[in-house]
Structure 1
Amino acid sequence: MITKEIILRLHELSIIEYGGSHGLRAEGSLESAIARPYQTFGGEDLYPTVYEKAAAMGESVIMNHPFVDGNKRTGFLAMLAVLEEGGLKLISSKEKTYQTVIDISTGSKTTEEIVEWLKANCKPI
């Protein structure tokens, strides 16, 4: 399970590597984003597959804007962390990945579309 500590570390590494402002803007938004992929209803996972969990995590971190800066980068890294935890690696080109992250941030891609993109662009580790 991807924890708050992992996401905070991913954010820190992203800011160190690529620049921007450090800081958590909305702790509740981060906690909500982290909880989303692991939600259940009636004892059933709402996001049962690794692809669905990764999509939900990435989309939530990107859209909830929990950080002062670096939300898209951190959301993308969180998505990769979920995939890796599930034994998968993203193999998409930098250009397609960049466009997908931008599409997520503008709301142009639905969760289902993100899931389909991940299915088409991942392979087992």
Structure 2
Amino acid sequence: MISYEEIVSIHEYLTNHYQFSEDPISPPGVKSIELLESAIARPFMSVNGKDAYPDVMDKAAVLFHAVISNHTFHNGNKRVALLVTMCFLDNNGYWLDKCSDLELFEFTKKTAAHEICKERKDEFKTIKTFIKRNSRKRKYEDQQLSFHSLTQHLHNAGFTIEDDGDLYAIIKNGKRYTKILKKGATGKEHYDAPYIKSLRKKLFLTPTNGWDSLRFYQASPSLTSNIGDLLKLRGEVLDWLAKI
């Protein structure tokens, strides 16, 4: 689900970003709470007890369409629609980066003007096709982690870390699985990628056990965890959208 607070925070992020530019979002703010809540609820609707939009691309397409069409904010609707869709895709392990900035700009502009296809009933399908064709699955490989980050990831997987003399014990449901060095506990030294890879094997946090790298490293991320990176990725597109 996408919360009301999350999408408003994206609008506020863009408002702050463009505050002193030639194209500020002014006036800012929500134009219709009801339409905004409707837009973010639509991707998660169910019909006869089944998910109306079952996969990530379905949900991303209907989210983009709903936010850009409902005109829920006083200004910046196209920018918010694109960025919230990118955040949603990122949150689910995808990046919308296979098309050029110009292609993405033109598609967003035409979507807002209902010019992407002849019949409005085909807009959702057209948007889904575009997003699916131009998105790629993010690659996650084992990476170095601080003690704090490692603790968080292990906690998300149901493990706890307890002091055990010169080492730390990794425990789950009362069972001690293995021990790790204390070298990263002071924050001065990270655990390197090969060490993390070996540890994940010992804890059965591997793809064969349902724990691929996406799940391990992205457990319970917020919708806007990488919003700064996404803004850098498509900043020029957002700048162009600000002028129309």
What range is the shorter-chain TM-score in? Answer: over 0.9
Q: 2:2 touches 2:41 (CA, 8 Å); kept in 1?
A: no
Supply the distance in 2 between the matched residues of 1:16 and 1:93 (Cα, whole angstroms).
Answer: 26
Supply the distance in 2 between the matched residues of 1:86 and 1:43 (Cα, whole angstroms).
Answer: 23
Paired residues in the alignment total 125
Deviation at 1:6, TM superposition (A): 1.0
Counterpart residue number, 1:15:
15
Query: Given the alignment of the two structures, is residue 98 of structure 1 paired with residue 96 of structure 2, yes or no?
Result: no
Query: Given the alignment of the two structures, is residue 73 of structure 1 paired with residue 79 of structure 2, yes or no?
Result: yes
- SS of corresponding position for 1:13: helix
Deviation at 1:24, TM superposition (A): 0.8
What letter is aligned with 1:105?
A: A
Q: 2:29 touches 2:74 (CA, 8 Å); kept in 1?
A: yes
Q: In the TM superposition, what are the counterparts of 1:22-33 in structure 2 within 5 Å?
A: 22-33=28-39
Supply the distance in 2 between the matched residues of 1:82 and 1:39 (Cα, whole angstroms).
Answer: 16
TM-score, normalised to structure 1's length? 0.95
* Structure 1 or 2: more helix by fraction: 1
Supply the distance in 2 between the matched residues of 1:54 and 1:78 (Cα, whole angstroms).
Answer: 9
What letter is aligned with 1:118?
A: I
With CA pairs under 8 Å and 6+ residues apart, which has the higher RCO, 1 or 2?
1
Q: 2:35 touches 2:72 (CA, 8 Å); kept in 1?
A: yes
What letter is aligned with 2:45?
A: Q
TM-score, normalised to structure 2's length? 0.50
Q: 2:67 touches 2:77 (CA, 8 Å); kept in 1?
A: yes
Query: Given the alignment of the two structures, is residue 114 of structure 1 paired with residue 114 of structure 2, yes or no?
Result: no
Supply the distance in 1 between the matched residues of 2:131 and 2:124 (Cα, whole angstroms).
Answer: 11
Query: Given the alignment of the two structures, is residue 124 of structure 1 paired with residue 137 of structure 2, yes or no?
Result: yes
Supply the distance in 2 between the matched residues of 1:118 and 1:49 (Cα, whole angstroms).
Answer: 12
Q: 2:60 touches 2:88 (CA, 8 Å); kept in 1?
A: yes
- SS of corresponding position for 1:123: strand
Q: 1:2 touches 1:81 (CA, 8 Å); kept in 2?
A: no
- SS of corresponding position for 1:61: helix
Supply the distance in 1 between the matched residues of 2:108 and 2:33 (Cα, whole angstroms).
Answer: 22
Larger Rg: 2
Counterpart residue number, 1:88:
94
Identity of aligned residues (%): 34
Gaps of 5+ in 2: 19-23, 117-122, 139-244
- SS of corresponding position for 2:13: helix
Runs of 4+ in 1 over 4 A off after TM superposition: none
